[in-house]
Amino acid sequence: MVDSSGDLHLVGRDKDQINISGVKHPRVDVEHFVEDSGIDGVMRSFVFACPVRLADSDTDTYAVFYQHRIHVEDELSEIDVAAIREANRAIRKCCIVMCSQAPHVVLPLPRKSFSKTALGKVSRSALMTAYLAGQHTALEHRLLPLSNGSTTKVGPHE
């Protein structure tokens, strides 16, 4: 777009792709691959792959946030936690097949986290901002292991 003073402004979507070791994967392809895998408990249209560069990192990674049929904002039984962990494990495997690298985190989020814009879309940047701000750390702790593939590392800062 050229403004009134003749300056060129490049307009486009920022971070529509996940860059893993120089290979660009459209985030929507990752999302559809996970959804099409038929993982038990994963709600269709509520899988979001979000590229991110973590603090003190030289490379990009990504996170996968999704809505599970089990309401994670409610009290979770051990059976619920086991079902969510199994879904997280399956999502991680799908992502490794698709991108050759596991996401930094796979995390089901509370329903309220998926608020929609006036256009009816969920903001991936809002999901990532909330995660990076530590808003889901307690949930991530509860779902260890396998929200982030580790039994020790939790949150965006570690």
| 16-68 tens-digit pLDDT | 799 988 899 999 999 999 999 999 999 999 999 999 888 888 888 999 999 99
Sequence-distant (6+) residues with CB within 8 A of 109 are 65, 66, 67, 72, 127, 136, 139
Q: Does domain 17-142 have CATH number 3.40.50.11540?
A: no
Residue 48: beta bridge partners?
65
Q: Map out the domains of the chain as residue ranges.
A: 17-142
The greatest distance separating any two alpha carbons of the chain, rounded to the nearest whole angstrom, comes to: 63
What pLDDT, in 10s, does the model give residues 64-102?
999 999 999 999 999 999 999 999 999 999 999 999 999
Measured CA to CA in angstroms, residue 90 lies from 23, 26, 54, 121, 152 at distances of 23, 20, 24, 25, 20
Neighbours of 7 (CB within 10 A): 8
Q: What does the alpha-carbon distance between residue 77 and residue 38 come to, in Å, rounded to a whole number? A: 23
The predicted model scores a pTM of: 0.82
Distances in Å between the alpha carbon of 14 and those of 58, 123, 126? 18, 12, 14
